[in-house]
A and B are shown apart, each in its own frame.
Chain A
Amino acid sequence: MNHQIILRVIAKMFIPFILLFALYVQFHGDFGPGGGFQAGVIFAAAFVLYGLVFGVAAARRIAPTRVLQACAALGVLLYCGTGVAGILLGGTFLDYGVLDSHDPVHGQHLGILLVELGVGTTVAAVMISTFLCFAGRKPS
């Protein structure tokens, strides 16, 4: 689609806003609709748009397979790590109340933020790599 100048310009204009919106959905999930899963998918949608307009090779350059694989695993690790941190601080697995020794509600906020970040990282990485896997294959 390299010759589609309108598509290229519009996509370039939109991608920063899509990424920004994904981050908004990610970190505003406590207050409004949304959360890690939705944010991850929107974040991935920006890469999908980039891949569709500028080609899979260009998309792979900004999102190398190894980085995506590491991010997919890191997200789950962050989630589990938050749970294990709860155990180490004297609570139970995935009990965020103990993450802040003074205020359990603040601990809950911190736990939800970390856990949602883990979900978002995994979802975004898996969605992008799935798209690249499908789009990167040559038609047989």
Chain B
Amino acid sequence: MIELLDLSLLLFLAVVAVAVARFRNLFAVVIVMGFYSLVSAALFTVLDAVDVAFTEAAVGAGISTVIMLGTLLLTTSKEKPQPFRIVPLVVVLATGGMLIFATFDMPAYGDPDAPIHQHVAPRYIHESAQEIGVPNLVTAVLASYRGYDTLGETTVILTAGIGVLLMLGHARRSENAGGDADGDGEDA
């Protein structure tokens, strides 16, 4: 039963990916990309990665769809027809083929003897209840054991926000020069 669910979700994902590549109407592409994120979130839930599914649904299907729609409003929602080119197709097929070839050497999904489950994971699983005392292991790893990583990620988000504000926030201000000199965007 669960295999059937996995299979149909993965098939859905593939169909949606092909649809995104084929569509020329960018409005449709953005909506279908949101759908792609939603299917990914369902897939993560099936894989018991609820925290990742949560993020994917909120960011991929939610916020980024809205921001992409906003971008379409500012640019255009029609993709220019592209001539068929053979080199990119060969590159994509070769890379995909190599990736699929590489998966043959990977341990089976959920294999307890896989290297990733041998190094620090047992320590997190056995000791975190005493050391951190937080029932959600993901939170214990993210916020405490890997606190540096999360600090870095938060800084990346702040830096990205500063970048967006510098590029888009500033241009908007100079367009309305005089009307909104203090830059708090009251006239937007």
- B residues less than 8 Å from A53 (CB atoms): none
Complex CA gap A64/B169 in Å reads 13
Instruction: Point out the residues of chain A lying under 8 angstroms from B55, CB to CB.
Output: 37-38, 41
**When A and B form their complex, what is the total count of cross-chain residue pairs whose Cβ atoms lie within 8 Å?**
161
- Shortest CB-to-CB span from B160 to chain A, Å, is 7
B158–A130 touching, CB < 8 Å = no
Q: How far is the CA of A127 from the CA of B58 in the complex (A)?
A: 11
- Docked-complex contact A48 and B66, CB < 8 angstroms: yes
Cα A116 to Cα B143 with chains together (Å):
7
Quick check: is B86 within 8 A (CB to CB) of the other chain? no
Q: How far is the CB of B57 from chain A (nearest CB, A)?
A: 9
Q: How many whole Å from B161's CB to the nearest CB in chain A?
A: 3
Q: Given A30-B134, A130-B164, A131-B67, A83 and B147 touching (CB < 8 A)?
A: yes
Residues on A close to B: CB < 8 A?
25, 29-38, 41-42, 44-45, 48, 52, 56-57, 60-61, 64-66, 69, 72-73, 75-76, 79-80, 83, 94, 96, 104-106, 108-109, 111-112, 115-116, 118-119, 122-123, 125-127, 129-140
The answer on a CB contact under 8 Å between B58 and A41 is yes
Residues of B that sit less than 8 Å from A by CB: 50-51, 53-55, 58-59, 62-63, 66-67, 70-71, 73-74, 130-136, 138-140, 142-144, 147-148, 150-151, 153-155, 157-158, 160-162, 164-165, 168-169, 171-172, 175, 183-188
B interface majority secondary structure: helix
Q: Is the Cβ of A57 less than 8 Å from the Cβ of B172?
A: no
Q: How near does chain A come to B14, taking the closest CB pair, in angstroms?
A: 27
* The one of B63, B130, B143, B162 that contacts A45, using a Cβ cutoff of 8 Å: B63
The 8 Å CB contact of B161, one of A33, A48, A130, is A130
> Quick one: which of B70, B134, B147, B186 contacts A60, CB cutoff 8 A?
B186
A52 contacts B66, C-beta separation under 8 Å = yes
